[in-house]
Each structure stands twice: as C-alpha cells, then as structure tokens.
C-alpha cells in the first residue's frame, strides 16, 4: 500500500482482522499453546507485518511498537479472550463482552511496561488504555515516524550508511539528529513548536505530546498537523538526496 495515500487506519485494521480471525480459528482448543512463545514466533511475525503495513511504518519498527502505534492487540494475547467469548451466549452485546477485552488490555499493558527495547514509543504512549480508547485521530505514515523515532532522521539514516554523520546540520554541533532533537531541542523548528505550545496551552514534551492529542480532537489535529509539516521536510530532503545520488 502507498505510504501517504490509500485506505485509512480503520479500514486497514478491518483487513488485518481477517488475518487475525483465521489465526484464532478454534482458539479454545489450542489457547494453552500461547504459554510457549516459540509456537507463536511465526504468527507474531505475520501480525507484525500486518501492523507495519497498516500505517506504512518502517520495516525496522518492532512488533511491540507497531501493535501499540496502530492499536492492534498482539495476537498471542487474544486466544484466552476468544476462549472466554466462545463460551458466552451470542445474544450478549458488545458491552457485555467488554470485561474480557479489558483483561486482554491489562495483560498487554503489563507486557508493554516490561518491554525494554522500545523506549521512544513507550515514552510517548505509556498508558495503553487512553491511547486505545480515544474516539478521534488516526495514525499515518508521518505520525508513526514520530512515535517510533524511526524515519528520515539523520541519526537513523546514518545507521544504514545513507548519511555521512548522525549530527544536526542546523545546530552544527555534535548532537544526534533524532526525533527528540528534531522536535524538542532543534532551533530549526522552534517557531512551529512554540506556536503548537500556545495552541495546546501547556508544556510540550515527549511524555506529554500524546496526552494532548488523545484529549481533544482539535488538539489532535493541531499537534499532528505540526508534526506532519516538520516531518515532511526531512522526507523531502531524503528524496532529493536519492535523486542526486541516482
Ligand atoms: Zn538541530
């Protein structure tokens, strides 16, 4: 699918749910197998690819990050929930089935808290419940870069030898140009970030940004518009660099 056009997040999640439904077929029979992570390695890998495709995230984004960013419950958590639901009457409403989902989210939160290798996404989204229960806002190509710190940032491109150094050209100092520097330290985008601070009316930090976004649809819009306009610039530079190189 295209990075910046194509189906929205909700439609992509619907497509991914087809894969999940096939995986979870007759889960009540084999749900105990989830206690052995090796059995689920291949399945998790497939679901990770689905999650990456949903918002065109970079291939280096881990499964843990991708699932959180696109609000897709990891499939190894779901067999228990499927087992509970299959034993409940079909006449029960979505609200009646909610407790089973809450247990799954609690389990996911516990796993998320213990993950050590995805600190950037965790710093932005420590609380899964507020992120998953928001009633507005979708993640797209640029927002997923902000949340994962994997995108057209010099520090990231340098790791793959697409840049000569990882440092910020604007600041001209030995500061690595990653998502934190780009948004919260670099003078280059200070004007846009100051405008955003005025718009949201508070301190703008990696820990607070998603809190503002999930609170109100208007704050989601103003925050994500600023993030997108800033992230488009290194993306355009990267595109020009590739054209020059080729
Ligand atoms: Zn800078």
SS3 assignment, position 88 = coil
Question: What does the pLDDT average to over 198-224?
Answer: 84
How many A from CA of 223 to the centre of ligand 1?
20
**Distance from residue 150's CA to the centre of ligand 1 (Å):** 17
pLDDT band at 235 (very low <50, low <70, confident <90, very high): low
How many whole angstroms from 42 Cα to the centroid of ligand 1? 40
pLDDT digit string, tens, across residues 159-199: 888 888 899 888 877 888 888 888 888 888 888 888 888 87
How many angstroms is it from 190 CA to the middle of ligand 1?
Answer: 10
Look at residue 141 in the predicted model and tell me its pLDDT. 81
pLDDT of the residue at 57: 67
d(CA 154, CA 142): 16
pLDDT tens for residues 95-130?
Answer: 777 888 899 999 999 999 988 776 788 988 999 999
Ligand 1 centroid – CA 204 distance (Å)? 17
CA 165–ligand 1 middle distance (angstroms): 13
Q: How far apart are CA 19 and CA 22, in angstroms?
A: 5
Cα–Cα distance measured from residue 127 to residue 94, given in angstroms and rounded to the nearest whole number? 23
Question: Per-residue pLDDT averaged across 31-40, rounded?
Answer: 80
Q: Is the pLDDT at 227 greater than 80, yes or no?
A: yes
Per the listing, tokens 């150094």 go with: 165
Q: What is the pLDDT of residue 93?
A: 75
- Encode pLDDT of 44-84 as tens digits: 888 888 888 776 667 778 888 888 988 889 888 888 888 88
Cβ contact 204:184 at 8 Å = yes
Between the CA of 177 and the centroid of ligand 1 the distance, in Å, is: 6
Rounded CA separation 44/106 (Å): 19
In this prediction, residue 86 carries a pLDDT of: 75
Would you place residue 4 in the very low, low, confident or very high pLDDT band (cuts 50, 70, 90)? Answer: low
Distance 173 CA to ligand 1 centre (A): 8
pLDDT at position 2 over 70: no
| pLDDT, position 17 | 86
The pLDDT, as a whole number, for residue 245 is 64
CA of 21 to the centre of ligand 1 (A): 46
Give the separation between CA 159 and CA 168, rounded to whole angstroms: 15
Q: Give the pLDDT of residue 118.
A: 66
Total Cβ atoms within 10 A of residue 5: 9
Written as six digits, the tokens of 119 are: 């600190």
pLDDT value of position 192: 86
Q: Determine the Cα–Cα distance for residues 190 and 23; give it in Å rounded to an integer.
A: 47
Q: Look over the chain and give the mean of its residue pLDDT values, rounded to a whole number.
A: 83
> What DSSP string describes 85-110?
HHTS-TT--TTTTHHHHHHHHHHHHH
Give residues with Cβ within 8 angstroms of 220, minimum separation 6. Answer: 134, 136, 137, 213, 214
Task: Provide, rounded to the nearest whole percent, the portion of the chain with pLDDT above 90.
Answer: 9
Q: Where are the domains of the chain?
A: 9-126, 151-245
For position 105, what pLDDT does the model report? 93
Give dist(CA 151, CA 143) in Å, integer.
Answer: 10
CA–centroid distance, 166 to ligand 1, in Å, is 11
What is the signed CA dihedral for 157, 72, 45, 235, rounded to 10 degrees?
Answer: -20
- Residues recorded for the chain: 246
């Amino acid at each position: 699918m295209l990075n910046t056009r194509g189906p929205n997040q909700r439609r992509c999640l619907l497509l991914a749910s087809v894969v999940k439904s096939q995986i979870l077929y007759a889960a009540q029979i084999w749900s105990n197998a989830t206690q052995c992570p090796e059995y689920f390695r291949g399945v998790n890998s497939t679901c990770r690819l689905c999650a990456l495709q949903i918002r065109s995230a970079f291939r280096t984004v881990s499964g843990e990050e991708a699932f959180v960013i696109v609000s897709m419950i990891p499939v190894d958590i779901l067999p228990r929930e499927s087992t509970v639901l299959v034993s409940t009457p079909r006449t029960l409403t979505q609200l009646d089935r909610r407790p089973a989902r809450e247990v799954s989210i609690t389990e996911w939160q516990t796993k998320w808290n213990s993950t050590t290798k995805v600190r950037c996404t965790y710093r932005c989204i420590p609380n899964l419940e507020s992120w998953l229960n928001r009633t507005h806002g979708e993640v797209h190509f640029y927002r997923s870069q902000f949340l994962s710190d994997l995108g057209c940032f010099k520090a990231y491109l340098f790791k793959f030898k697409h840049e000569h150094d990882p440092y910020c050209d604007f600041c001209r100092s030995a500061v690595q140009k990653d998502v934190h520097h780009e948004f919260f330290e670099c003078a280059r985008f200070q004007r846009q970030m100051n405008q955003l601070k005025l718009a949201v009316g508070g301190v703008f930090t990696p820990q607070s940004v998603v809190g503002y976004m999930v609170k109100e649809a208007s704050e989601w819009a103003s925050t994500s518009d600023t993030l997108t306009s800033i992230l488009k610039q290194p993306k355009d530079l990267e595109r020009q660099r590739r054209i020059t190189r080729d």
